[in-house]
Structure 1
Amino acid sequence: MKNVVFSIAALIIIGLIAGLFFYHMPSKHAEVQEPNVQETPAKQPLYANETIDYSLQNDEVKITFDKGENWLPIPIEKDALFNGEYNGSKEELIENSYILTKKRIAFLYYEQDNIKMLSSIDQGESWQETLISEHYPPIRFRKTAFLNEHFGYVIISGDRTMSQEMSNVFLTLDGGKTWNETNNTNVTRLVADGGFTNEQTGFLSFGILNPEQPELHVTQDGGANWSEAEIQIPEKYRKIFVIAEAPFKEGNQLAMLVNQGPSGDYLGGKVKGKFLSKDEGKTWEFAREVQPDE
């Protein structure tokens, strides 16, 4: 009887072992798990509206010299071009912060408390990174331009607190290799615009928060001295034309547009006043109204 019991127990144990063995064996027909591979999103196509143009598609900075037939990558991170106090769209570069011509490509940017310029004068075959100013607080307004092969300017404002900020002008006389800061205007209002019409004559326009009249400062000695220009506004247009834009050459005199600011409502708010100067920007006389489509 004991032998029968032991035999039955042995058969049960053998059966359990066999069952466990076959349970853990992978089935020939078991479904094979596909590796979890994430597809790389397709890159967006690049488009150009101008013969010389740029693209920020796919978070890459590229330029073209043939209206999009060929694109050249720029050795700079897209986000660097928007550093500082900027709340606009990152689908387009900040106005006046770059130069795109056959003879010069330049990008003005702010990185690690430094103001820099990345530029090329051989259509992107080689690039130069130039330090314009170091230890500068976060920038707001930024503008650069070259008037010729050698002379260029950079206008920067930063360290904004409510309606005040610092502003600085930098000039180059060697095509952007080196930059020197001009003397300061000592004005702390917010910069609206600025520019130079030649190597000696430059302008800074101040006041963008509810201004009642334009405030334009002029230098006629390359930034060594600044003084406030006299803008003769007819009574009819007082508190209407309130923000001066950067003056420009027009024949043998200088011209300037003065806009209504963001709160203007005269004839829809887009009409500007045109002023002329015959003394290199010291005094300005009203010429006429300028329509938005002119």
Structure 2
Amino acid sequence: MNIQDLEKQIRDRMDTFPTKTRRVAEYLLGNSSEVAFHSIGEVAERLSVSKAQLVRVARMLGFEGYADLKVVLKEALLAQVAPSAIAGEVQDTHIPQDLCRLEQANLEETRNSLSSKAIVTFCEAAKKADAIYCMGWGISALVSEWFYTRFTELGLKTVLMRRGSVSLIEQSRAVGENDMLIVCELPSYVIEVTEAVEATARRGTRIITLTDSPAAPICGHSYLSFYAGDRSPTFGSSLIGPMFVVHVLTSVLSYNMGEQGQAALAAQKEGLSDQRVYYPAYGLRY
């Protein structure tokens, strides 16, 4: 069962629920990664209900108990992280064509997951933040660095968080309540990234996540989540989908910032006239 089928099954069953019970079921449905990867006690505390109430709701949804609901959710979410037979999607005899089709599918999946409402919410959060922190580990750090580059070009106060002589958990201590933390996390998921996000979330920071699936542990702490197709038979994950998200979000942000955004881009463009850096005769553009 995939996550879409599971969500439909839950929606179909909860139509006749009393208002209070339906509220709990809707929360479980809308926070699938939290239900799948956190204990019943943690979920009950966040919902301000008893553990017994969660068990009752799970049974009303057709499961024998809360543990069974959690197992099915976890399996459905993880199926999105590692779809079966992905290696078979690229045939040796048609590698270039099949790779192109796979990347086209990644882009289509990514585009379909983007919503205008989420993009506007992202822009408003970025404009209100005292500072924007960009976090990533391994291959995901390449995506977070592009976020950092784009925010810097727009004149926004931005800090890049990468694993080095100081751990991500140590770096996260500088992130304040009025800041925004944007985290890119592609498989394999990193424990230190999750712990840094958890520590930051406890301070009330708005956390924006860019991942491949709601199964990513960081999604349970995010204010807003974006998802990108990243399937690839080589190099672990494709970055084309995640980079597309960065390009769309920061491009819309540049317009959303109005005169401030346009002035920042104009200043970047002006730098192209520096002939100590660029050849002037090769169609400079920014």
Smaller-chain TM-score bracket: under 0.3
Larger radius of gyration: 1
State the TM-score, normalized to the length of structure 2.
0.23
Larger proportion of strand: 1
- Return the structure number with greater relative CO, CA threshold 8 A, min gap 6: 2
State the TM-score, normalized to the length of structure 1.
0.23
